[in-house]
């Protein structure tokens, strides 16, 4: 239910951003949580903080021409939405996927504002990407695309202005090409302009692992709050990319048994527990379909084509592929199958109906902007190391990440309690993230 004033804010968002359904969904979820804040503190409404937060500070759309290995010319569209810089430079990833359009970039950028606020670190919110499809492209095609993309984007970036990183379809390889082109065009070795860099040229320990590890740490805290742990628990992780792989790694280290994971072609069930080295080889190195995992693993694993991994029963679910992958129906089946905790490694992977089902069934539900904040938090640590020309050890960086995740978990619960919604991590995350950004905006006057 929306507070009366917020309902008119939402109607305005619908009117001003037609057809951008993922953006509408992300805005609505936040507006549904912050009603009680407006009741307590009328200043936010008086200064139209919410209305301002829903309007990006700047939206950039550009042409990305590039040539494939056969010499054919392709035109893609590039985006960067610089949403909010109240807390620091715009910060957020780049996504390369054919589904990318303005509505996806805006939903991700909007989520990023509150997520980055929740980390307690000095980073604003932004997101970008392209409708470029990297599947089946050679290394050289990827390089040419990244160079063309950066040739336009560089003018909007800067370590004090806007600092991209990876997301779907953008990993270490792409970040290398993007940074190389930025350095070449600007003639500046400005390490802090992009994060997720390789360890040989200014990257930080644990950034690659951070989103997955952080999500596992967050779920560990949720399980602790229920008086239990990962030990011996049956876990399903969707996706088989960066977030999924490092979620699986940390869950296994914490004693959980990951019995299934997925990619865009289907899912694999491996009752003895996913063989992570094999998964990294197939998806990370060879960039093949998940069916190749089952073929090489032999009789232990089964590949199921074209179906949702959420039909596999689990006690803990960590959706780590993409938005709206868990529907209300999936959630009902998961609850029947004994699911007690959900940690969103992906951004907005659960539909609003799905969230309702989980919360009504008493499942601990950790929303993406809290549970997957470890990635961007470690990006901020990378910026910190770049600014001081320092490098930290793996152990030190991982300890910092775990402290940040524990702190986010604690603050979600504390804020939810304060506003009379005990155990509601969605409300806690939205309210805490909102207040941090809103208070900074109030202090800066009408900007
Ligand atoms: P990757 O590109 O490394 O992996 C994405 C995985 O999800 C792949 O296995 C891919 O399948 C699958 N996938 C992607 N889109 C779809 C789709 N439309 N339908 C089915 N499967 C799909 O991306 P990341 O692991 O980095 O990102 C995963 C999620 O985590 C995203 O929601 C992202 O926004 C979020 N996230 C990422 C962070 C990061 O630091 N990277 C930080 C916080 C959140 P296939 O292999 O077949 O392409
Ligand atoms: O969704 C996300 O938080 C990311 N893709 C990571 C952003 C970042 O700047 O590290």
Is residue 163 within 8 Å of residue 89, measured between CB atoms? yes
The distance in angstroms from the start CA to the end CA of the chain is: 30
DSSP for 49-86?
HHHHHTS-SEEEEEEEEEE-TTS-EEEEEEEEEEEE-S
Is-contact 234 199, C-beta < 8 A? no
Q: Give the pLDDT confidence of 237-274 residue by residue, as tens digits.
A: 999 999 999 999 999 999 999 999 999 999 999 999 99
Task: Look at the alpha carbons of 384, 386, 391, 395 in this order and tell me if their dihedral is positive or negative.
Answer: positive
Give the closest residue to 105 by CA, choosing from 94, 114, 113: 94
User: What is the set of domains in the chain, with CATH numbers?
Assistant: 4-189 (3.40.50.10860), 210-361 (3.40.50.720)
> What pLDDT is attached to residue 37?
95
pLDDT at residue 1, as a whole number: 66
Give residue 265 CA to ligand 1 midpoint distance, Å: 13
pLDDT at residue 264 in the model: 97
Q: 211: closest CA among 112, 277, 325, 113?
A: 112
**Ligand 2 pocket, mutate which of 83, 91, 92, 380 (most atoms under 8 A from CB):** 92
Q: Which ligand is nearest to the CA of 174?
A: 1
| 317 phi and psi angles, rounded to 5 deg | -115, 135
Token pair of 205, please? 């320990």
pLDDT < 70: residue spans in the chain? 1
pLDDT of 352-398, one tens digit each? 999 999 999 999 999 999 999 999 999 999 999 999 999 999 999 99
Q: What is the CB < 6 Å shell around ligand 2? A: 91-93, 112, 115, 165, 167, 195, 347, 375-376, 379
Question: Catalytic site residues?
Answer: 127
SS3 content of the chain, % helix, strand, coil (to 5): 50, 15, 30
The DSSP bridge pattern shows strands 364-366 and 124-130 to be unpaired
Has 242 been labeled as part of a binding site?
A: yes
Q: Which of 109, 123, 45 is nearest to 80 (CA)?
A: 109
Picking from 218, 179, 225, 220, the residue whose alpha carbon sits closest to that of residue 198 is 179
Output the average pLDDT for the chain. Answer: 97
Closest CA to 23 of 62, 64, 59: 59
Rounded Cα distance, 95 and 9, in Å: 28
Tell whether residue 302 is among the known ligand binding residues. no
Q: Write phi, then psi, for 297 (nearest 5 degrees).
A: -75, -25
Ligand 2, atom nearest to 372 Cα = 3
pLDDT at 5: 85
Q: From the CA of 368, how far away is ligand 2's center (Å)?
A: 11
Ligand 2 pocket: which of 162, 167, 174, 206 to mutate (most atoms within 8 A of CB): 167
């Amino acid at each position: 239910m929306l507070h009366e004033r917020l309902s008119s804010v939402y109607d305005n968002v619908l009117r001003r951003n037609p057809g951008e359904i993922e953006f509408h969904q992300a805005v609505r979820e936040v507006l549904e949580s912050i009603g009680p804040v407006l009741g307590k503190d009328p200043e936010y409404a008086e200064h139209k903080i919410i209305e301002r937060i829903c309007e990006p500070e700047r939206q950039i759309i550009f042409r990305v021409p590039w040539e494939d290995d056969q010499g054919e010319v392709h035109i893609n569209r590039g985006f960067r939405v610089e949403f909010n810089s109240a807390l620091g430079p715009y910060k957020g990833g780049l996504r390369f996927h054919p589904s990318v359009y303005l509505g996806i970039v805006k939903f991700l950028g909007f989520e990023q504002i509150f997520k980055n606020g929740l980390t307690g670190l000095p980073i604003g919110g932004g997101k970008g990407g392209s409708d470029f499809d990297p599947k089946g492209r050679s290394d050289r095609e990827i390089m040419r695309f990244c160079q063309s993309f950066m040739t336009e984007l560089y003018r909007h970036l800067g370590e004090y202005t806007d600092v991209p990183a990876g997301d779907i379809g953008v990993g270490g390889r792409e970040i290398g090409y993007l940074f190389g082109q930025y350095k070449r065009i600007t003639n500046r070795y400005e390490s802090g302009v992009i994060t997720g860099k390789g360890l040989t040229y200014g990257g930080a320990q644990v950034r690659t692992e951070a989103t997955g590890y952080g999500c596992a740490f967050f779920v560990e805290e949720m399980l602790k709050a229920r008086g239990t742990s990962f030990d011996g628990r049956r876990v399903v992780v969707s996706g088989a990319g960066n977030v999924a792989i490092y979620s699986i790694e940390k869950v296994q280290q914490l004693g959980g048994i990951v019995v299934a994971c997925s990619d865009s072609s289907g899912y694999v069930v491996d009752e003895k527990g996913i063989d992570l080295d094999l998964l990294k080889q197939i998806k990370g190195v060879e960039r093949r379909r998940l069916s190749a995992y089952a073929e090489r693993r032999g009789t232990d694993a089964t590949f199921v084509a074209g179906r949702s991994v959420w039909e596999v029963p689990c006690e803990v679910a960590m959706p780590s592929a993409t938005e709206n992958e868990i529907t209300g129906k999936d959630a009902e089946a998961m609850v029947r199958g004994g699911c007690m905790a959900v940690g969103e490694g992906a951004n907005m992977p659960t539909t609003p109906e799905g969230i309702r089902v989980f919360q009504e069934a008493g499942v601990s539900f950790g929303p993406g902007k809290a549970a997957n904040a470890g990635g961007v938090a470690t990006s901020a640590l990378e910026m910190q190391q770049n600014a001081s020309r320092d490098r930290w050890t793996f152990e030190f960086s991982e300890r910092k990440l775990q402290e940040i995740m524990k702190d986010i978990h604690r603050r979600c619960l504390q804020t939810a309690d304060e506003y009379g919604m005990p155990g509601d991590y969605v409300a806690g995350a939205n309210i805490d993230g909102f207040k941090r950004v809103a208070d900074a905006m109030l202090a800066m006057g009408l900007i």
